[in-house]
Amino acid sequence: MAYTGLDWFATEDWNSDSIPDCVQFFSGYANTQFFKNYGVNGKTILGQAHTQTLIDYLNAYPPMLEKLDCKTVQEFVLLGDPSLQIGGYS
């Protein structure tokens, strides 16, 4: 996975909820969701984990309300074979 343009991320804690904004918004949220989908939700196929991450992001942050949310989803692309199993095959 890679960003095809600028990587948008938030800093500090602007909404004062004690969660660092760097993991709560924009690319930080997308990166965190990807690993949550793999580790917690059991998405072991790369393309499925990536797709579910985009769905989760769009559900949490509707792209028509904030242009940076739209841009974050557009630039969060999967480079490579989406059918690969994360962790390899046994």
Residues 6+ apart with CB under 8 A from 22: 9, 10, 11, 28
Closest CA to 19 of 7, 6, 34, 32: 32
What's the total number of domains in the chain?
1
Which stretches in the chain have pLDDT values below 50? none
Q: Residue 3 falls within a domain, yes or no?
A: no
Comparing C-alpha atoms, which of 29, 81, 79, 23 is closest to residue 54? 29
The confidence score (pLDDT) of residue 66 equals 86
What pLDDT was estimated at residue 8?
64
Supply the range of the domain harboring residue 30: 20-77
Residue 69 has a pLDDT of: 87
Residue 13 falls inside a structural domain: no
Residues 9 and 29 sit within 8 Å (Cβ to Cβ): no
- The token pair at 21 is 């904004």
In a domain, 41, yes or no: yes
Task: Provide the angle, in degrees to the nearest 10, between the axes of the packed helices 26-39 and 46-60.
Answer: 130
In-domain check, residue 48: yes
> Is 42 within the bounds of a domain?
yes
Q: Would 60 be classed as within a structural domain?
A: yes
Q: Does the residue 90 lie in any domain?
A: no
